[in-house]
Amino acid sequence: MKELVERLVVNRRLDNESLRALLTECTTDANVLQLLRDCAVRTAREQFGLGIYIRGLIEVSSYCRCDCLYCGLRRSNRSAERYRLTHDEIMACCREGYKLGFRTFVLQGGEDGTHTDRWLEELVRDIRQSYPDVAITLSLGERSEESYRALYEAGANRYLLRHEAANADLYDALHPTAKGLKNRLECLEALKRIGYQVGMGMMIGVKGQTIDDIVEDLQLIGRMQPQMVGIGPFMPHSSTPLGGEPAGDLRLTLAAVAITRLMLPSALIPSTTALATLSPIGRLEGILSGANVVMPNLSPSDIRAKYAIYENKASWGKEAAEGLAALDEELKTIGYHIDYSRGDFNNK
Ligand code: 5AD
C-alpha cells in the first residue's frame, strides 16, 4: 500500500485496480489512511501554505424542479418549506459578507424555473458592479450553454456542478427526472469552454454506490481536471426515498478527498458542510486530508433551516458567517488560519 501511495504522489494518477485497493484498505487499515492523508496534507501545504480560503454561501432558492432521490429539496418532498430570496435580499447578503471579509460569493440554489437568464444576469451584474474585486461563483444546476455564457459575461467567474456519479446507471437511478449523465458532462464541458473555473464532485456512500463507482468518479475527475472538487458523505433526509439509509463512511470520504488532492495538487477542495455535519471534527478532518476551502453560510438566518438538502445540516456556529472568529480559532488548533484573499485557481 505504501508503494501505491508513493506512486500516486509521483504520478498524480493510479490505475483502477490500485485505486480500488487503496480505497478499500483505507476503510480497514488506519495506518494506510493516515499515510495517504499525510501525503495529501503535505501537497496542499506546498500549494497553499497554512491558509484556508473562505467562500460565502448564499442559498438563493429552495424551489427545485428536480427529484433527486437523496435531496431534501426534491420536488416530491411536499413537507419542504420553500423560499426564494429577492434580488435585494441577495445584495444584502453580499453587503454583509463583504464587510465580514468574504471575497467570494457562492450563489447556490435548486433548479428554480423562475430564475430566468434575465433575472440572474441582472443580479450577477449588480454584484459585479458593487464588488469589482470579488469572485462570483454560481451553483444553480443545469442550464443552457447560452445561459451559462450570458451569466459569465455578466460577471460570474466560477461554476459548481457536481457530476454526482460517473456511472451512468447509478446517475440515472439517483436522478429520475434529470437529463442523464451525458447532458451533465456536456454542461461541464460548456462551462469549461466558456472560461469558468469549474467544480465537480460527488457524495460518498449514497445508496447503490460501490467502491468501483468511486474509482470511476475519481478517474473522471482526473480526466476532466476541474479547478474545484467538492466531496462529502451522503447524509440521509427522512422525507426522501433514501431517508432510511445510513450516512456515508467518514474514512472513505477522507480517503477520497486525500486521493483527489494528490491527483490535482492545485485544485480548490472544500472541507464540506456534510463532513462537518457527519462529525464534530469533520471540518478539521477534511483539512487534514488535503482540503483547503471552507464555505460558511451567508444566507439570512431565518431561511437557513429551509435549505435542507439533508437534515441537521451544520449552519450555526462555525458554519455561519457570524462564526468566522470561531472558525479561525478552530483552524488555529491544527495550525491553520483563514486566508481572506479571493483564492482563485492558479496552476503553478
Ligand atoms: N447528503 C449529502 N450531500 C447531498 N447533496 C444533496 N443532497 C445531499 C445529501 N442528502 C449534495 C449534492 C449536491 C450538493 C449541493 O449537495 O452532491 O450537488
**Nearest residue by C-alpha to atom 14 in ligand 1:** 162
The sign of the dihedral angle between the CA atoms of 144, 150, 154, 156 is positive
Answer whether 213 contacts ligand 1 (Cβ < 6 A).
Answer: no
Answer whether 235 contacts ligand 1 (Cβ < 6 A).
Answer: yes
> According to the model, what pLDDT value does residue 265 have?
98
> According to the model, what pLDDT value does residue 47 have?
96
Answer whether 232 contacts ligand 1 (Cβ < 6 A).
Answer: yes
CATH no. of 35-339: 3.20.20.70
Residue 36 DSSP symbol: H
Q: Where are the domains of the chain?
A: 35-339
Ligand 1: distance of its center to the CA of 171 in Å? 13
Greatest alpha-carbon span in the chain: 55
Where helices occur in the chain by DSSP H, the ranges are 2-11, 16-26, 30-48, 87-100, 117-130, 145-154, 168-174, 181-194, 211-224, 250-263, 273-278, 282-287, 301-304, 324-332
> According to the model, what pLDDT value does residue 144 have?
98
Judged on CB neighbours under 10 Å (0-12, 13-18, 19+), 226 is: buried
Residue 244 DSSP symbol: T
User: What is this structure's pTM?
Assistant: 0.96
311 neighbors 235 (Cβ within 8 angstroms): yes
Ligand 1: distance of its center to the CA of 110 in Å? 11
Show the cell assigned to 186. Answer: 456536456
User: What tens-digit pLDDT sequence spans the chain (348 residues)?
Assistant: 999 999 999 999 999 999 999 999 999 999 999 999 999 999 999 999 999 999 999 999 999 999 999 999 999 999 999 999 999 999 999 999 999 999 999 999 999 999 999 999 999 999 999 999 999 999 999 999 999 999 999 999 999 999 999 999 999 999 999 899 999 999 999 999 999 999 999 999 999 999 999 999 999 999 999 999 999 999 999 999 999 999 999 999 999 999 999 999 999 999 999 999 999 999 999 999 999 999 999 988 888 888 888 888 877 666 666 689 889 999 999 999 999 999 998 765
